[in-house]
Amino acid sequence: MYKIAVIPGDGTGPEQVREGLKVLEAVREKFNLAMETVTYDLGGERYLRTGELLPASVLEELKAFDAILLGAIGHPDVKPGILEKGLLLELRFQLDLYINLRPVKLYPGVATPLKDKGPEEIDFVVVRENTEGLYAGGGGFLRKGTPEEVAIQESINTRYGVERCLRYAFEYCRRKRQRRKLTLCGKTNVLTYAFDLWERAFKEIATEYPDIATDYAHVDAICMWMVKNPEWFDVIVTDNMFGDIITDLGAMIQGGMGIAAGANLHPGRVSMFEPIGGSAPKYAGQNVINPLAAINAAAMLLDFLGEEEAACCIETAVATVCREHLKSLNAGQMGYTTSEVGDLVVNHL
């Protein structure tokens, strides 16, 4: 019996999650899986109502699930940073979800802003470290509010954290990819401490994986190549901040936030799956956003649970819906409502 916690969250999150669950329910039936879901009210509304972000009791309960399906976190009436740090990053840190896995895959029939590039050229995965780096919260102010103010924001890179991320990337490359090419994305020419550690660990671990081709590129160059030659990439591994930035670029070349999903993973423990597009408050409640990102997140969830066939079935249905039905992947331009897109995927399973 799979136990799934559901956090619909803010803005368009509940609409995303509703369609993700619709598809999960349909594959559950088709593949005869046993699954139960429990919904948690967390997010901006609850925070405004009660001041609570992630109560300790809820965190404890979440640890007992197999997976979490998250809609979105972010509310226009809450100051930026509060929900992000108090809830989304808190979940990632407290559950030690040390991998953020983001596939960048262009499906046939989907428009990409890259001229002359198609599904053959755009198919890679970013493995982002998810618990350290600039996100760890190191630093502080000195003389805050004075003309002599100092703000320090430190990037924390532990050998342990870097190594487990790199090992995951090598294993993922071996297990899931045919090309078996792993590119380290860093900035060894300037960040000569942090990425020195990353590069040394990368080279050492690479000797244990002779079947995997390795490569290195600076983050700025990666941005350039992702646009000019995305076909060079198979799996890219990088730190938290660079991973955050390059995966938004990745989402755009695969057709936009309407389809981009991500997984926050700790292999063997409860892990969290989300559409990466955010809460998009201006579209909330209108049944116009594209739910394929949440549906893809649901597919990643099943894959993580070992239900690879069920996951694959969802992915194939999503690809078919993109190819045969949707006019665009953008909110309001799909030619269908949010719930109709969910129904289309279910029909194609």
Residues recognised as catalytic: 135, 187, 220, 244, 248
Regarding 80 and contact with ligand IPM (CB under 6 A), the answer is: no
Angle in degrees, 0-180, between the axes of helices 240-253 and 219-228, rounded to the nearest 10: 10
3-state secondary structure the chain: CEEEEEEEECCCHHHHHHHHHHHHHHHHHHCCCCEEEEECCCCHHHHHHHCCCCCHHHHHHHCCCCEEEEEECCCCCCCCCHHHHHHHHHHHHHCCCCEEEEEEECCCCCCCCCCCCCCCCCEEEEEEECCCEEEEEEEEEECCCCCCCEEEEEEECCHHHHHHHHHHHHHHHHHHCCCCEEEEEECCCCCCCHHHHHHHHHHHHHCCCCCCEEEEEEHHHHHHHHHHCHHHCCEEEECHHHHHHHHHHHHHHCCCCCCCEEEEECCCCCEEEEECCCCCHHHCCCCCCCCHHHHHHHHHHHHHCCCHHHHHHHHHHHHHHHHHCCCCCCCCCCCCCHHHHHHHHHHHC
Check if the beta carbon of residue 40 is closer than 8 Å to that of residue 58. Answer: yes
Closest CA to 110 of 14, 219, 225, 252: 252
Which is nearer to Mn ion, 41 or 248 (by Cβ)?
Answer: 248
Question: Is residue 239 involved in binding Mn ion (CB under 5 A)?
Answer: no
- Per the listing, tokens 């994305």 go with 185
Site membership for ligand IPM, residue 253 (CB under 6 A): no
Q: Which is nearer to ligand IPM, 89 or 125 (CB)?
A: 89
Task: Return the range that interacts with Mn ion (CB under 5 A); candidates 29-37, 158-166, 236-244, 298-306.
Answer: 236-244
Give which of ligand IPM, Mn ion, none residue 317 binds (C-beta under 5 to 8 Å, depending on kind): none
- Comparing every residue's Cβ against ligand IPM, the nearest one is 84
Distance of closest approach, residue 102 Cβ to Mn ion, in angstroms: 9
CB of 329 to Mn ion, least distance (A): 18
Q: Residue 313 binds what, of Mn ion, ligand IPM, none (CB under 5 to 8 Å, by partner type)?
A: none
The one segment of 46-54, 84-92, 310-318, 333-341 that binds ligand IPM by CB under 6 A? 84-92
- Please report where in the chains the tokens 């053959």 appear, as a residue: 120
**Which among 11-19, 81-89, 152-160, 283-291 is the span making contact with ligand IPM, rule CB under 6 A?**
81-89
Q: How far is the CB of 248 from ligand IPM (least distance, A)?
A: 7
Tell me: does residue 244 bind Mn ion (CB under 5 A). Answer: yes
The single-letter code of the amino acid at 105 is K
The single residue among 19, 129, 234, 244 that binds ligand IPM, judged by CB under 6 A, is: 244
What would the x/- binding string for ligand IPM be over residues 141 to 170, using CB under 6 A? ------------------------------
- Choice from 88, 257, 302, 345 touching ligand IPM (CB under 6 A): 88
- 84 scored as a contact of ligand IPM (CB under 6 A): yes
How many of the chain's residues bind ligand IPM (CB under 6 A)?
5
263 binds, among ligand IPM, Mn ion, none (CB under 5 to 8 A by kind): none
Token pair of 347 as six digits: 């029909």
In the complex, the smallest distance separating the C-beta of residue 237 from ligand IPM, rounded to whole angstroms, is 16
Comparing CB distances to ligand IPM, the nearer of 69 and 334 is 69
Tell me which of ligand IPM, Mn ion, none is bound by residue 259, counting a contact when its beta carbon lies within the kind-specific cut-off of 5 to 8 angstroms.
Answer: none
Applying the rule CB under 6 A, the residues between 261 and 320 that interact with ligand IPM are: 276
- Would you tell me which residues interact with ligand IPM (CB under 6 A)? 84, 88-89, 244, 276
- Would you tell me which residues interact with Mn ion (CB under 5 A)? 244
